[in-house]
Amino acid sequence: MAYWQWGNPQAAHVVLCVHGLTRQGRDFDTLAQALCEKGGERIRVVCPDVVGRGQSDWLKDPATYQIPSYAMDMLALLAQLAPSTLDWVGTSMGGLIGMAVAGQPEMPAFAQVRRLVLNDVGPTIEAKALQRIGQYLGKTGAFESEQQAADALWAIASSFGPHTPAQWLALTRPQLKPLADGSGRFTLHYDPALALPFLAVTPELAAQGEALLWQAYDQIKAQTLLVRGAESDLLSRTTALAMTQRGPHAQLIEFAGVGHAPTFVAAEQVQVLAHFLLD
Total domains in the fold of the chain: 2
Is the same domain home to 205 and 247?
yes
Is the same domain home to 54 and 154?
no
Supply φ then ψ for residue 252, to 5 degrees: -105, 130
Is the same domain home to 113 and 16?
yes
- Check residue 54 and give its pLDDT: 97
3-state helix, strand, coil in the chain (%, to 5): 45, 20, 35
Dihedral sign for Cα atoms in the order 94, 95, 97, 102: positive
- Quote the Cα angle for 82-225-8, to 5°: 35
Is the same domain home to 44 and 163?
no
Selection from 144, 146, 139, 160 nearest residue 234 by Cα: 160
Rounded mean pLDDT for each run of 10 residues along the chain, 279 residues in total:
97 98 98 97 97 98 96 98 98 98 95 98 95 94 96 95 96 96 95 95 92 97 98 98 98 97 98 97
Is the same domain home to 202 and 108?
yes
Measured CA to CA, the distance from residue 253 to residue 148 in angstroms comes to 34
Is the same domain home to 131 and 15?
yes
**Partners of residue 176 on adjacent β-strands:** 188
- Check residue 43 and give its pLDDT: 97
Question: What DSSP element (H or E) covers 223?
Answer: strand 223-229
Selection from 59, 42, 41 nearest residue 50 by Cα: 59
Domain with residue 23: its CATH number is: 3.40.50.1820
> Which strands sit side by side in the sheet containing 13-18, from one edge to the other?
3-7, 43-48, 13-18, 85-91, 113-119, 223-229, 251-255
pTM, entire model: 0.97
- Check residue 69 and give its pLDDT: 97
Measured CA to CA, the distance from residue 147 to residue 97 in angstroms comes to 32
Is the same domain home to 185 and 265?
no
Is the same domain home to 88 and 16?
yes
Quote the domain boundaries for residue 149.
141-189
Is the same domain home to 101 and 145?
no
Do residues 28 and 19 lie in contact, with contact meaning Cβ atoms separated by under 8 Å? yes
Is the same domain home to 254 and 128?
yes
- Check residue 194 and give its pLDDT: 96
Is the same domain home to 207 and 128?
yes
Is the same domain home to 170 and 205?
no
